[in-house]
Amino acid sequence: MKAGTADITARIDLMFNRDSPQRQAEMNSLDGIDAVPLAFAEDYQGDRVYALMAGMISMLDASYNYKDEFFLLDELDHQKLYNSARNLETIAWRLNSLKKKMAICFC
């Protein structure tokens, strides 16, 4: 966490609060998968971990149509779920690639 940011519990609460204007303001009004690239942008001055996690959480919320409970006859959009899974794979690949790149740079 960057200096001057709220404690971890407050950050987690903010991350999972779908309707918080502060959540979107911190991420340049981006949400969902659109917020994830902030974590990888070299010129981003905010909390990269927060941007990555909040982006992933809101992306997954959207893939489940922002519902917290499901019933037997509810339908899910298979394409949204597939896209979220692919996005998570891409994020994992990028993080792993950056880890390898950083290990090479500092050795």
- Residue 84 forms part of a structural domain: yes
Give the mean pLDDT of the chain.
Answer: 83
Q: What's the rounded Cα separation, in Å, for the pair 56 and 95?
A: 13
Number of domains in the chain: 1
Range of the domain at 65: 8-106
Q: Is the pLDDT of residue 3 over 80?
A: no
- Residue 2 forms part of a structural domain: no
- Residue 3 forms part of a structural domain: no
- Residue 1 forms part of a structural domain: no
What is the predicted pLDDT for the residue at 66? 87
- Residue 95 forms part of a structural domain: yes
pLDDT (tens digit per residue) in 14-30: 888 777 666 667 777 88
For the chain, the C-alpha Rg in angstroms (whole number) is 16
- Residue 38 forms part of a structural domain: yes
Look at 56 and 100; give whichever has higher pLDDT: 56
Q: What's the rounded Cα separation, in Å, for the pair 55 and 34?
A: 7
pLDDT (tens digit per residue) in 29-57: 888 888 899 989 888 888 888 889 988 99
* Cβ burial, residue 51 (10 Å; 0-12/13-18/19+): buried
- Residue 49 forms part of a structural domain: yes
Q: Is the pLDDT of residue 107 over 80?
A: no
Q: Is the pLDDT of residue 12 over 80?
A: yes
- Residue 67 forms part of a structural domain: yes
